[in-house]
A and B are shown apart, each in its own frame.
Chain A
Amino acid sequence: MSLYSKQIQNRTMLTVVFHEMTIPFTVQVIVAQPLTRANRLVLKQSSAIHDYMKHIDRVFSPFREDSELTAFNQGSLMFENTSQDFQTVYAISSWAEEKTNHLFSADYLGTQQYDPTGLVKGWAIEQAAKHFLFALLAEDDFIAANLIGGGDMQFATRPGSDWVWQLAIADPFDTKKIMAKLAMTSGAIASSGTVERGQHLINVAQHRAIGTQASDIISGSVISDSLAEADIWATAVTTTSISDHRWLKELDGSGMRISYGKIAERWQNNRIVDQKELIYA
């Protein structure tokens, strides 16, 4: 685990990068001044987050023969005997299916194989950020922290500080570029789409792959105060077309979507703010 340090205005940003479950994680911590004690604490907490992600993989990996998820799907592990983490995720996924009117589904291709992959990452990042990273903000000199995993993030700023995170949303047509910016102190952003892995999302409610027609969504980003919630909704709003807004009344916070036809839209507080063609995308 290596640590980068750089100056931003008159603050120091410490960055640690690691990967687990093929997902790249970036830990960012803003401190008032460079201190070896800060470096040591950030490395220690990053290591704790890495261990936590290994634990999450052991519980929820659909690819591991020895995971709780595999045992549950094979019928060798009863629901009542699953761990608290498993039951928590199960509760959230069943709640999410109802809340999103089944735009989000944890039922793998309708086969009764439970697959919570669509929310485990966001939920785990939120848990890890709150337990291992934001605890640092109680320390003197620690101003703000952000945990990013595969393009989703949960961040916080110490109350009373004037620090504001400057964040961006990637352009799905050219991920080397950004298409939107936002400034926030605390919250979460999740993005969903078909860009990076080049594989299709499946809309389980309709048992069809997401199309690549002009009206289909190439990328959707949801901004919330909870990454678990943002991750669920990013998946959900990406499964509908750019003209379908049945989900809007249930989704608090803000966000944006872009269709393959390069129509972009933004929403906030349950209403569409604007929709326009991105001629430069």
Chain B
Amino acid sequence: MLKKLTAFIISIILAVAIAIDGYLLFFKKADPRTVTTQANTNSQAVPASSSSVSSSSGSSTVPSSSGAYRDGSYTGSAVRIRWGRVRVRVLIKNGKIASVSTLEYPNTNPHDQRVSQIALPTYESESVQANSSKIQAVSGATETWQGFTKSLQNALNQSKG
């Protein structure tokens, strides 16, 4: 009987702790989508692997069952993009996305830095038809497949050089 009561009390304490945790998380990130957080200022939310930052599976805390999503804080696995590694933390409150923050890991590997020469476009002295022997590709605002058959790129593709 005493054992059962103890277990019951512990589960109540746990539930309260979880609720407080969720409340604090929400409060801390009450302003959605304006937070750029560095990894070190959020160390409590980042799993222990943050220094090595290899891809690890997402972790979640504070499960509850209201709304479309389960409330809680979901930390995605770290992904490598050109600027370094990025990990996303999504906070769900009342079944909706309350905030999204990215935890950035600066790029420390010099080999990941940009190495190519970025050219400056030069104006044509007048707007001209592309000479297919001198131009391979044309960048322009999104073209659809329907419009492609009439496009400059299609003409370049079909030309005999």
Which residues of chain A have a CB within 8 Å of any CB of chain B? 4, 6-8, 13, 15, 17, 19, 22-24, 26, 28, 74-76, 78-80, 84, 87-88, 90-92, 94-95, 97-98, 102, 107, 112, 121, 146, 148, 150-153, 155, 165-187, 189-197, 219, 221, 223-226, 228-229, 252-256, 264, 266, 268, 273, 278, 280-281
Chain B residues whose C-beta falls within 8 Å of the C-beta of A112 in the assembled complex:
96-97
Residue on B nearest A6 in the bound complex, by CB: B161
B121-A181 in contact (CB<8A) = yes
Min C-beta distance of B98 to chain A, whole Å: 10
Q: Assuming A13-B136, A268-B118, is B159 touching A6 (CB within 8 A)?
A: yes
- CB of B114 closer than 8 Å to a CB of A: yes
In the complex, given contacts A78-B74, A195-B141, what are 15 additional A-B residue pairs having Cβ atoms less than 8 angstroms apart? A7-B161, A17-B157, A79-B92, A80-B60, A121-B142, A150-B143, A172-B141, A174-B127, A178-B130, A181-B124, A182-B119, A196-B140, A196-B144, A225-B116, A281-B127
- CB of B46 closer than 8 Å to a CB of A: no
B157-A4 in contact (CB<8A) = yes
Interface string of B65-83 (1 = CB under 8 A from A): 0011110001011010111
B82-A228 in contact (CB<8A) = yes
User: How many residue pairs between the two chains, A and B, have CB atoms under 8 Å in the bound complex?
Assistant: 253
| A148-B128 Cα distance, complex, nearest whole Å | 21
- CB of B129 closer than 8 Å to a CB of A: yes
Min C-beta distance of A186 to chain B, whole Å: 4
A–B complex contacts, Cβ < 8 Å, 9 sampled? A79-B90, A87-B76, A98-B34, A112-B97, A148-B137, A182-B121, A184-B118, A278-B123, A278-B127
| A273-B108 Cα distance, complex, nearest whole Å | 30
**Among B36, B60, B137, B160: residue with most chain A CB under 10 A:** B137
B68-A74 in contact (CB<8A) = yes
| A6-B135 Cα distance, complex, nearest whole Å | 13
Min C-beta distance of B66 to chain A, whole Å: 11
A181-B135 in contact (CB<8A) = yes
Residue on B nearest A144 in the bound complex, by CB: B136
Chain B residues whose C-beta falls within 8 Å of the C-beta of A181 in the assembled complex:
121-122, 124, 135
User: Which of A28, A196, A224 is the one whose CB lies under 8 Å from B118?
Assistant: A224
| A146-B139 Cα distance, complex, nearest whole Å | 12
- CB of B134 closer than 8 Å to a CB of A: yes
What is the size, in residues, of chain B's interface with A at 8 Å between Cβ atoms? 72
Residue on A nearest B78 in the bound complex, by CB: A91
Q: Assuming A24-B148, A224-B118, is B58 touching A168 (CB within 8 A)?
A: no
Q: Assuming A84-B79, A95-B104, A179-B123, is B117 touching A151 (CB within 8 A)?
A: no
Residue on B nearest A74 in the bound complex, by CB: B68
Chain B residues whose C-beta falls within 8 Å of the C-beta of A15 in the assembled complex:
157
Residue on A nearest B141 in the bound complex, by CB: A193
Chain B residues whose C-beta falls within 8 Å of the C-beta of A185 in the assembled complex:
116-117
- CB of B27 closer than 8 Å to a CB of A: no
A87-B88 in contact (CB<8A) = yes
User: Which of B34, B67, B81, B152 is the one whose CB lies under 8 Å from A228?
Assistant: B81
A26-B102 in contact (CB<8A) = no
| A197-B140 Cα distance, complex, nearest whole Å | 11
Chain A residues whose C-beta falls within 8 Å of the C-beta of B118 in the assembled complex:
184, 187, 223-225, 252-254, 268
| A176-B151 Cα distance, complex, nearest whole Å | 7
Residue on B nearest A218 in the bound complex, by CB: B141
A187-B116 in contact (CB<8A) = yes
User: Which of A95, A98, A221 is the one whose CB lies under 8 Å from B81?
Assistant: A95
Chain B residues whose C-beta falls within 8 Å of the C-beta of A170 in the assembled complex:
138-141, 152
Min C-beta distance of B18 to chain A, whole Å: 17
Chain B residues whose C-beta falls within 8 Å of the C-beta of A221 in the assembled complex:
121, 139
